[in-house]
Amino acid sequence: MNILYLYLHSSLERERKKYESISKLGVSTQEIKSLITKELAILIYTPVTFAIILLFLVLFTMTSIVSSVDPQMLIVGIVITLSLLTIGFVVIRKVYLNKLLSFDK
């Protein structure tokens, strides 16, 4: 998450110019916010989704070797991880939108 935030911060000026140009073409601020939200969601949730799929594959193939895998604890862990990730997503989205759409003011 920190690496993603640093990437977003370092590319902020370039992205600001891009969205300012798009805004001048007549795209509304709401549509730009929607585009940014979708882009951030892909950047944040894709690696975690991939990791969860791999986790399930590994655990289900290892159940014959290790029989003490508790599916309830696994689901609780995934729910907690996704909850924390969603909180981070909301915070990053809010800060990033405020900084990125400052051209609009």
Q: pLDDT, tens digit, for every residue of 68-81?
A: 667 788 888 889 99
99 pLDDT above the threshold of 90: no
What's the predicted TM-score (pTM) here?
A: 0.76
Task: Domain ranges for the chain, please list them.
Answer: 12-104
29 pLDDT above the threshold of 90: no
Q: Residue 15: its pLDDT value, please?
A: 86
50 pLDDT above the threshold of 90: yes
**Cα–Cα distance measured from residue 41 to residue 86, given in angstroms and rounded to the nearest whole number:** 9
24 pLDDT above the threshold of 70: yes
Q: Residue 77: its pLDDT value, please?
A: 86
**Cα–Cα distance measured from residue 88 to residue 1, given in angstroms and rounded to the nearest whole number:** 8
Instruction: Kindly indicate the confidence band of residue 5, based on its pLDDT and cuts at 50, 70 and 90.
Output: confident
What mean pLDDT is reported for the chain? Answer: 84
58 pLDDT above the threshold of 90: no
Candidates 47, 44, 42, 35; CA nearest to 5 is 44
**Cα–Cα distance measured from residue 21 to residue 31, given in angstroms and rounded to the nearest whole number:** 14
**Cα–Cα distance measured from residue 1 to residue 60, given in angstroms and rounded to the nearest whole number:** 28
**Cα–Cα distance measured from residue 66 to residue 64, given in angstroms and rounded to the nearest whole number:** 6
